[in-house]
Structures are given as structure tokens and as C-alpha cells.
Amino acid sequence: GAGVSQSPSNKVTEKGKDVELRCDPISGHTALYWYRQSLGQGLEFLIYFQGNSAPDKSGLPSDRFSAERTGGSVSTLTIQRTQQEDSAVYLCASSSQVGGSGTYFGPGTRLTVT
Amino acid sequence: AQSVTQLGSHVSVSEGALVLLRCNYSSSVPPYLFWYVQYPNQGLQLLLKYTTGATLVKGINGFEAEFKKSETSFHLTKPSAHMSDAAEYFCAVSRRGGTSYGKLTFGQGTILTVHP
């Protein structure tokens, strides 16, 4: 595809439920990132995958958050036992191996926890 | 650790006027520098980036930014604002070298309003 795609675009869930958010990066991009955008916290890095290396999970806010990347392409961000403070826009991004080539973002998934 | 400060959470200009959005960074070594724009209910779009070479970089939609190492700044400018420039703008940095160049640290954003 031409750009990073994410699904669903909107997700409303009840507190305590698990959710899965999907990201399909730009073809050929080896690096994939998840960010979170919320009113109070701005744009926060969550997790980063680069090729076959172990992911950088340093931004995950709690152990309720996890992510995987299958086959070096599609990624899924899972939030277990959702809380109201998890409400935010979750952005996926990808970049190539070339340093400073630019990181390209998807349209985001707006998660609302009621 | 790296950090980014955008001076002014809101900037308002008249159509046709100069746009100046300020960004300063803190980093032990000069990082990669980026400006992103976000239109309402949309994702982030890369406007321009500085990696190496010429310190004045040109981006899309007539925007440009100049990297000033001595001032640790990367201010975004556009000579003449257009109504369609109304959006939120984010300055970001990433560490130079290694493979984590897409791991971005963002400023808090500046909302640009353009008046007719």
C-alpha cells in the first residue's frame, strides 16, 4: 500500500475488556513504532520493532499493554483489562533502514473506554 | 535524554503574513530533527527533516526550517500563510546513529490559526 494503514479507525469498549489494534506498515519498511496521543500527555512513544531484533518496549505504560509483529510486517497492539485512562488515539508509524529517512504515520485508531 | 520545547501552544496569524513556529531541543549530540503537521482528525504528516548537510531545509507546502546548532533550534517558517495551513504542528527529534532513528521525542505541539 501507499501508506501506513490502521484498523479499526474508531473503537469503543467497556472498561475491563481487552482490545486489539492493527497496523500495516509501508511495504519494505523494517522498523515499526506505536505511539499514543492523548490530551494530557501529548505524543508518547510506546514500542518499537526493528527487523528481527528484540522490540524496544521502554514506552509501554503498564504490563496490560503488549504488541507483536508477525512476519516482519503487520503489528497488533493489545491492551488488556482496559481502563478509562487508556482512552487516546493510538498511532502506528514505520520507517526504512536509512538513518533519518523519516518516519511515516498512519491515521490512528481512536480508542474510547467507557 | 532528549527533550523538545515548542514555544507557544497557540499561534495566530493573518492570511498572507509570515508564519514562525519555534522549536528548541536538548540533546547531548545534534539529533535528527523533524516537523510534522496534523490536520483535524488526521494522522501526522511529515513536513520536513534535517539529517545532515545544508542547515536550511525546505519541505512541503512552502514551509522551511533552519537548524542552528549554536542556538539548539529548528524553527519552522513560511513566508505567507494560507488558510489551509491551519493545523497543529509538532517538532520532533530522534537520536543520531544506531537504528532507533524513528523513535521520536515530540514537543507539545503548536496550534496555528490563520485569520482571513
10-residue stretch averages of pLDDT, chain A, 114 residues long = 90 98 93 91 91 89 95 93 97 80 90 97
**Average pLDDT value for residue range B4-30:** 94
- Contact yes or no for B101 and A93 at CB 8 A: no
Q: What is the pLDDT of residue B100?
A: 66
When pLDDT is cut at 50, 70 and 90, the band that residue B52 belongs to is confident
- Contact yes or no for A99 and B51 at CB 8 A: yes
Greater confidence (B31 vs A34) lies with: A34
**Which residues are CB-neighbours of A92 under 8 A, at least 6 positions away?**
A4, A6, A21, A23, A25, A32, A33, A34, A35, A75, A77, A105, A106, A108
The residues of B whose Cβ lies within 8 A of any Cβ of A are: 32, 34, 36, 42-46, 49, 51-52, 90, 92, 94, 96-97, 99-109
- Contact yes or no for B101 and A100 at CB 8 A: yes
Contact list in A for residue B32 (CB cut-off 8 A) is: 99-100
When pLDDT is cut at 50, 70 and 90, the band that residue B59 belongs to is very high
Contact list in A for residue B102 (CB cut-off 8 A) is: 31, 33, 48, 93-95, 103
